[in-house]
């Protein structure tokens, strides 16, 4: 293990400071490295890039590190946090905006948690629109046909987005950009948010009214105990027949079985999914040579009106650059004795994103 650290020390310790910040980087993908190497190289940071996800079985790999860097499908539950604390790990640095996979309550008082509140909200909002356009204009089918020199149009009839009502759930950074994009298409936008933005010019309605009026529903709120399965059989029962559901937020917002039933019953016109509740061991991996055990996902993918991308909405050059630059800044700030721990998620305040951080400029 020391050998690995030494190798990375050689690569990244360019600043020549007295101490090196050792970071175990879990669930590394090939596209993560260039931007983290770039920004890590500007500081005394030694990354240990690990392909494995962080969970109770792999947490031992964090031994000897000051921080762990994790992504959306790493499991940072109370048991993992206890081990990290035991190993003296001081920081969990999420390289994502969403943090539903981290038990922030269990981390309080033990390990600081930071995230990247915004990198490129455009990346996700534009992907949501890309999925929607692909679906309504049958681009996925046309692409496959023309590759085989089949130039027929039968079955490719779409519909105009112009004039349709889109219901946006969650009007934060991504939701607002998606709203702007939809307005550019001449769509009528209604929205639901637990905390509506005042003076935003957005037409807020209740969730129930949004379900009833929308031709298209796009989800942009976080996954919490409250939002888990917000799209279930009962919600689907209230929606317009033929509704299109777009989810680029978190899989757990949708009860996938209920979605499948809605599609089979022809109640749901189409589903565009960048996330899936049980994606953790499937998405980001090449499973093409394997039998797919997840029957719900198999069935969804087999439907002509379902498009699945594997949690790639964030994946633009601009977003990767923003993620790495902010994550490295977060790490540096949290290890500086007198600095604010930037973008810290604090359980204590009850308002975990707007911690007052009075005395110590950090949550504990
Ligand atoms: P944000 O924090 O700016 O906005 C979230 C909005 O949801 C806020 O306006 C908040 O008031 C609202 N909200 C909170 N609880 C709610 C509830 N119970 N019902 C309705 N609305 C509620 O977050 P941002 O940056 O817009 O991201 C939104 C979500 O997108 C993230 O939580 C994350 O899960 C997902 N995401 C997905 C990515 C992907 O690659 N597929 C990449 C980045 C984010």
Distance, CA 230 to ligand 1 centroid (Å)? Answer: 14
The Å distance, Cα 217 to ligand 1 centre, comes to 14
Distance from the CA of 98 to the center of ligand 1, in angstroms? Answer: 7
CA 97-99-104 angle, to 5 degrees, is 135
Q: What is the pLDDT of residue 356?
A: 55
Nearest CA, atom 2, ligand 1? 172
User: Annotated catalytic, 285?
Assistant: no
The per-residue pLDDT for 199 is 87
Contact 102, 76 (CB under 8 A): yes
Which one, of 131, 224, 123, lies nearest residue 173 by Cα? Answer: 123
Q: Whose CA is nearest to atom 9 of ligand 1?
A: 172
Report which DSSP code applies to 18: S
Q: Do the domains spanning 3-119+317-359 and 121-308 agree at the CATH topology level?
A: yes
Which of the following is catalytic: 112, 115, 220, 311? 311
> Pairing state of beta strands 188-192 and 165-169?
parallel
**Sign, Cα dihedral of 102, 108, 111, 116:** positive
CATH superfamily of 121-308: NAD(P)-binding Rossmann-like Domain (3.40.50.720)
Mutation choice for ligand 1 from 96, 115, 174, CB with most ligand atoms inside 8 A:
174
Ligand 1 centroid – CA 193 distance (Å): 10
pLDDT at 66: 97
Catalytic annotation on 250? yes
Residue 28 backbone dihedrals phi, psi, to 5 degrees = -70, 135
**What is the position in ligand 1's atom list of the atom closest to the CA of 248?**
41
Residue 38 CB coordination number (10 Å): 13
**Residue of 315, 316, 240 lying closest to 284 (CA atoms):** 315
Q: Name every protein residue with a CB atom under 6 angstroms from any ligand 1 atom.
A: 97-98, 118, 121, 124, 169-175, 192-195, 220-223, 226-227, 248-250, 274-275, 311, 313-314
Q: Which protein residue's CA is at the shortest distance from atom 19 of ligand 1?
A: 194
How many other CB atoms are there within 10 angstroms of residue 363's CB atom?
Answer: 21
Residues 187, 228: contact at Cβ < 8 Å? no
Architecture of the domain made up of 3-119+317-359: 3-Layer(aba) Sandwich (3.40)
**Rounded distance from Cα 167 to ligand 1 centre (Å):** 15
CB 100 within 8 A of CB 252: yes
Triad 211, 217, 220: Cα angle to 5°: 115
The 10s digit of each residue's pLDDT in 225-238 is 999 999 999 999 99
pLDDT digits (tens, 9 = 90+) for 84-110: 999 999 999 999 998 999 999 999 999
Handedness of CA 10, 14, 16, 17 (dihedral sign): negative
Ligand 1 atom closest to Cα of residue 197: 9
Domain parsing of the chain, residue ranges = 3-119+317-359, 121-308
The answer to whether the beta carbons of residues 168 and 175 sit under 8 Å apart is yes
pLDDT of residue 346: 79
- DSSP-based three-state secondary structure for 181: helix
Closest atom of ligand 1 relative to the 353 alpha carbon: 2
What angle in degrees, to the nearest 10, is found between the helix axes of 121-136 and 139-147?
70
Q: Which residue numbers in the chain have pLDDT < 50? A: 1-14
DSSP letters, 255-290, are: -HHHHHHHHHTT-EEEEEES--TTGGGTTTS--TTS
- pLDDT tens, residue by residue, 325-344: 999 999 999 998 777 888 99
The rounded distance, in Å, linking the Cα atoms of 270 and 217 is 11
- Identify which of 46, 49, 34 has the alpha carbon closest to the alpha carbon of residue 321: 34
Distance in Å, CA 172 to ligand 1 centroid = 6
Ligand 1 atom 16: the closest Cα is on which residue? Answer: 194
One of 279, 290, 358, 359 is an active-site residue; which one? Answer: 279
Catalytic residue flag (residue 311):
yes
């Amino acid at each position: 293990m020391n050998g690995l650290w030494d190798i990375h020390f050689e690569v990244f310790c360019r600043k020549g400071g007295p101490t090196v910040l050792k970071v175990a980087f879990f669930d590394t993908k090939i596209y993560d490295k260039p931007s983290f190497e770039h920004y890590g190289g500007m500081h005394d940071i030694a990354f240990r890039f690990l392909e494995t996800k962080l969970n109770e079985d792999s947490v031992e790999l964090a031994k000897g590190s000051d921080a762990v860097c994790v992504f959306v499908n790493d499991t940072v539950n109370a048991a993992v946090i206890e081990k990290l604390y035991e190993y003296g790990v001081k920081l969990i640095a999420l390289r994502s905006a969403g943090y539903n996979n981290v038990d922030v309550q269990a981390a309080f008082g033990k390990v600081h948690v930071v995230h990247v509140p915004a990198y490129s909200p455009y990346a996700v909002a534009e992907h949501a629109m890309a999925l929607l356009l692909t679906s309504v204009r049958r681009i996925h089918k046309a692409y496959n046909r023309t590759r085989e020199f089949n130039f027929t149009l039968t079955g490719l009839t779409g519909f105009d987005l112009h004039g349709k009502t889109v219901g946006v759930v969650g009007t934060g950074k991504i939701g607002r950009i998606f709203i702007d994009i939809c307005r550019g298409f001449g769509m009528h936008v209604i929205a639901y948010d637990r905390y509506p933005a005042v003076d935003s010019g957005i037409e807020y309605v209740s969730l129930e009214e949004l379900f009833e009026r929308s031709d298209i529903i796009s989800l942009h709120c976080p996954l919490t105990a409250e939002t888990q399965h917000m799209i279930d059989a009962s919600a689907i029962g209230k929606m317009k027949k033929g509704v299109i559901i777009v989810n680029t937020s978190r899989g757990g917002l949708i009860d996938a079985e209920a979605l499948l039933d809605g599609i089979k019953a022809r109640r749901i016109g189409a589903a565009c999914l960048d996330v899936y509740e049980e994606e953790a061991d499937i998405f980001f991996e090449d499973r093409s040579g394997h039998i797919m055990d997840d029957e719900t996902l198999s069935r969804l993918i087999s439907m002509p009106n379902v498009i699945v991308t594997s949690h790639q909405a964030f994946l633009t050059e601009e977003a990767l650059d923003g993620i790495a630059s902010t994550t490295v800044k977060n790490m540096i700030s949290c290890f500086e004795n007198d600095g604010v721990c930037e973008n810290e998620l604090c359980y204590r305040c009850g308002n975990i994103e707007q911690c007052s951080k009075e005395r110590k400029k950090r949550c504990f």
